[in-house]
Amino acid sequence: MFWARTKPTSTRDLLRAEHRLQRPQGRRLLPWAALLLAALLGGWYLSRETAAGQLQRQLAELQARNAGLSAELEQYRLRQSEDQAARQQLLRRIDELSGEIKKLKTDLAFYRQQKPGKSPIPGG
């Protein structure tokens, strides 16, 4: 334990009627300063941990939301590919039917050019 140091007193001071206690120079402030520093560091650490906890919760929420949005995006992509395949199939079917219509129109034009008395089928 530290003992307070006092100044050596002169005999004149001892002979005076008043005796005053002398405070140590700066030694009493050291424990209070250390306690204040410890409290400040503790508060800073606590606020940092609280902020880190909030950031961890926010990160978890954002990751969950991101996973949900990724699943939704995958569904949209699947629907889009299905729609594209259906569209291509319909376009092929339209092309086939257009070709058939063209062929039927050609056949119709051929039959209309025939004379009414003649049959295009031999023997008929």
Q: pLDDT tens digits, residue range 9-53?
A: 677 766 665 656 666 665 677 778 888 999 999 888 888 888 888
What is the number of other CB atoms lying within 10 angstroms of the CB of residue 24? 13
Token pair of 68 as six digits: 């949900």
Token pair of 122 as six digits: 């031999």
Query: Are 27 and 2 a contacting pair, CB within 8 Å?
Result: yes
| pLDDT for position 96 | 97
Measured in degrees and rounded to the nearest 5, phi and psi for residue 100 equal: -65, -40
The amino acid sitting at 2 is F
| pLDDT for position 101 | 97
Q: Is 118 helix (H, G, I), strand (E, B) or coil?
A: coil
CA–CA distance, 4 with 20 (Å, rounded to integer): 14
| pLDDT for position 66 | 97
CA–CA distance, 91 with 89 (Å, rounded to integer): 5
Q: pLDDT tens digits, residue range 62-119?
A: 999 999 999 999 999 999 999 999 999 999 999 999 999 999 999 999 998 986 666 5
| pLDDT for position 26 | 57
| pLDDT for position 91 | 98
| pLDDT for position 108 | 93
